[in-house]
Amino acid sequence: MSEDKEAQEDELLALASIYDEEEFRRAESAQGGEIQLRLELPPDFKVVVKGENLTEYDVCFLPPLGLNFELPADYPSMSSPVFTLSSKWMSRAQMSSLCRRLDELYEENQGCVILFTWIQFLKEQALDFLGIQSPLEVIKGGSKAGGERRKADPQATALSQCGSHSEAAEETRREAKKEKSQQHPADPRAVLVMDPRADLLPQLLDFDEEQRQKAFDGKVFGCGICFVEKLGSSCLCFKECQHVYCKACMTEYFQIQIRDGNVQCLNCPEPKCTSIATPSQVKQLVDEELFARYDRLLLQSSLDGMADVVYCPRQSCATAVMVEPDSTMGICSVCQYAFCTLCKLGYHGLSHCKIPAEELRNLRDEYLSATSVGKKFMEQRFGKRVIQKAVEESFSRDWLNENCKGCPRCGTNIQKADGCNKMTCTSCKQYFCWLCLGLLSKVNPYSHFNNPNSACFNQLFQGVDLDEEDAFWSDEED
């Protein structure tokens, strides 16, 4: 008995020296403890979710197996440790199979301490022993589907092998059928700790992300900005490209970009790299006020990129408004203002927009200089018909400004094709001077050009090229 007691104490001390507190905890009131066993996964291990679309996830860590044990007084000479085996993702059938294998290992090494052998087997060989290979299929919606599978087949797993035609899968099924035919009862030492109502996939991915972060925090990285080596816990890793920079440098970089409104430019500083920092990473490095600005500008930037979203033109409101395709009417859901999406004035139905010529010309130039994608976006936002109309109207205005003048009485655009500088409005029939746009007398319109005090004295034919046969015009021809 004293030899058993000494062997037990030596084994427990050895486990405490090999594994940290997260992996091994010794019981306070008895000779025993609990070990969290992290299974070693092969490289490029994947988890597959089968549904309408096949989705794969790279996984480096799966939730550990829990081995709870208590050492009898006559261990290791006569008795095996009393234990339970628990898991969040294995089936009871799989864990029962592992429990039986642990019993076999003790029988093969009877009289010797066995805990370290059990640990090595579970960590390094459990997956191969159970025939579990990558990729693994997660039953979507976990609880009900997994429960039905386990009811129909006691060998079913929450994670099952994907690839029905692989040799390994066939071998696994044969072993499962063989084991089922032997009708092994479920081992009471196999404990399921998975919540049957919870979806398994998020639990697996969250655990994997947590363990990846822990592994990252313990490594040393060199920052490419300040060139100082720091622990991963003081660094930021961009998700897409895996480039690493220290948090101090990235905090300053993010603060400058957010204050300048460049929320879409929080990308990896590596030249030509397009990876973008996630909102959760930004939130870790900036204060609440700056993050609120980042969040607001990011939302606004996203809305600006949507062709069917415009903003209420009232400065006191500026609410995002959804508009129908090919419609120029927007109705603000907050202030109920109905406006034209093109000119931003009150909605005017089919009447022409009262857009300043400069703004209309800018819209036309932006459209004509845009790429095919940009043109399509503008057509979706304003409507193809509206864009076409704006371009045509802008060109018409430019032509009118260059070739016409407005009647000084009614404003009708008048083009001077030929003839003298005494003009007659085609709309109101008013006589006026083409040079100074002054109104002319209906009784004697030429007196304006014959009066020495007039600015247009002797300029009736100013700017006119006279042919010999067209040297004179009558009032009727005018």
Which residues are the active-site residues?
A: 420
Cβ neighbours for 303, distance < 8 A, ≥ 6 positions apart: 309, 320
